[in-house]
Amino acid sequence: MLIPLNFLVDTLVPYFSMGRSVPYREICEKYGMKICAVGFLADLIGSVFLFAVLLLSDSVLKPLDELYGIANGISYQPTKNLPSFLIVLLAILLSGLCIYLLDKRIFKKAGMELNAAKRHAFNMAFFTMPYLYLLPYGFWQWLLPMLF
């Protein structure tokens, strides 16, 4: 269910971004799956960053109680405290940067001029960053049983 929805978003954003300025249909047919894969890869990079922060806080910094609250906030409620929010926001921005860099490369390969490739890659990054990282754990406990 997630892959088709992600593919739909990854094709709608370029459609609204590009308009009639470039052969949108050709780019989506030829590079659509690559753009979708880049999104998943970028989200994975952000997730690995968060996982590494949690591993570090658990193994190295566990004796410090205030850092335990930060790790707990990252895992369960990112908006619980400012450090948790900033770390999750950093992961989202890291994913966005990866989306931008990789999509810019794809758009350049598709034959776009550099400025157009940058603009469309920025739109892709901005609209497809994993903002869902900010949702609390309780939301997922409520949503997932309804989906499956």
Model confidence pLDDT, tens digit, residues 36-60: 899 999 999 999 999 998 888 777 6
Q: Characterise 13 by phi-psi region: left (phi > 0), alpha (psi -120 to 50), beta (else).
A: alpha
pTM: 0.84
The reported pLDDT for the residue numbered 136 is: 84
State how far the alpha carbon of 96 is from the alpha carbons of 4, 36, 100, 125, in Å: 20, 13, 6, 5
Q: Crossing angle, helix 24-59 and helix 114-128, to 10 degrees?
A: 50
Among 15, 39, 16, 38, smallest CA distance to 27 is for 15
Both structure tokens of 6: 């992600």
Low-confidence ranges of the chain (pLDDT < 70): 1-2, 19-22, 60-66, 140-141, 143-144, 147-148
